[in-house]
């Protein structure tokens, strides 16, 4: 008699909630915030903007995630009893990867904004920071509410992400960002048009104004039908 193979799910995308629980449904989507940031955020940023700051940010996320998984394999703390119903008992729970990811993101974005190194430094610049922290806390709450982690596991992940986010920004601000001009001029960066915009206080405004100026310079050659 052939035995059916055991199947596993992709942990970050298979989020379950109790049928009819509207709050659980909402929090299940919130729990996917790291996925949205990773693929919709970083991937599109790396493809279309090609900035060294974004690459450094992304590299920090990868290292922090690997660090979290390394700690999980050492501590080997099981998830709460609800893991059987959710089908995630095969993985460890301490510290929470989702909490680590979102607090790393929020702390790094906060420091970028404070040091005026973000994409936008207008009067609404802190709205993005507030949104990042709101999503971080909602994600942490969702992991406990949905039964994927205990409170201690979420707090541990949040603390780890916060510390790693601050450390990664300090490392970049103190030692790496000053090398961006030299890195920008290397053959690989020139080939793929990877640039450094960390010296521009408000990148979005800079690009907007230069785009308009370039259009005006060519306006005489175009006529709308």
Specify the pLDDT at position 64: 93
Specify the pLDDT at position 225: 55
Is position 4 within any domain? no
C-alpha angle 101/149/67, rounded to 5°? Answer: 40
How is residue 37 annotated by DSSP?
I
Is position 12 within any domain? no
Question: pLDDT digit string (tens) for 118-173?
Answer: 655 556 678 888 999 999 999 999 999 999 999 999 999 999 999 999 999 999 99
Q: How many CA atoms lie within 13 A of 209 on its CB side?
A: 6
Domain with 162, as residue range(s), is: 22-218
Is position 185 within any domain? yes
Specify the pLDDT at position 122: 59
Is position 71 within any domain? yes
Specify the pLDDT at position 7: 43
Specify the pLDDT at position 103: 95
* Residue stretches of the chain with pLDDT short of 70: 1-13, 117-124, 219-225
3-state helix, strand, coil in the chain (%, to 5): 65, 0, 30
Residues 6+ apart with CB under 8 A from 51: 45, 194, 195, 196, 197
Measured distance CA(159)–CA(157) in Å, rounded: 5
Specify the pLDDT at position 5: 56
CA distances from 102 to 5, 83, 163, 187, 191 (A): 34, 22, 12, 34, 33
Is position 1 within any domain? no
- What is the domain count for the chain? 1
Which residue is listed with tokens 């690997």?
A: 66
Is position 16 within any domain? no
pTM for this one? 0.85
Specify the pLDDT at position 117: 65
* Number of Cβ within a 10 Å radius of residue 183: 15
Is position 209 within any domain? yes
Is position 224 within any domain? no
């Amino acid at each position: 008699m052939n035995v059916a193979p055991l199947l596993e799910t992709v942990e970050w995308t298979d989020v379950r909630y109790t049928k009819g629980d509207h709050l659980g449904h909402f929090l299940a989507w919130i729990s996917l915030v790291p996925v949205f940031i990773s693929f919709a955020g970083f991937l599109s940023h790396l493809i279309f903007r090609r900035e060294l700051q974004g690459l450094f940010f992304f590299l920090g996320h990868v290292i922090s995630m690997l660090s979290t998984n390394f700690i999980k394999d050492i501590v080997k703390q099981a998830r709460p009893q609800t893991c059987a119903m959710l089908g995630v008992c095969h993985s460890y729970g301490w510290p929470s990867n989702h909490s680590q990811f979102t607090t790393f993101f929020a702390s790094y974005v906060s420091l970028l904004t404070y040091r005026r190194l973000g994409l936008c430094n207008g009067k609404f610049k802190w709205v993005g920071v507030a949104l990042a922290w709101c999503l971080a806390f909602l994600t942490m709450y969702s992991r406990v509410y949905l039964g994927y982690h205990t409170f201690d596991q979420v707090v541990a992940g949040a603390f780890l992400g916060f510390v790693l986010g601050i450390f990664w920004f300090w490392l970049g601000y103190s030692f790496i960002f000053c090398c961006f001009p030299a890195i920008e001029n290397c053959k690989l960066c020139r080939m793929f048009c990877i640039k450094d915009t960390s010296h521009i206080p408000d990148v979005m405004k800079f690009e907007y104004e230069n785009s308009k100026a370039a259009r005006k310079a060519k306006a005489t050659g175009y006529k709308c039908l």
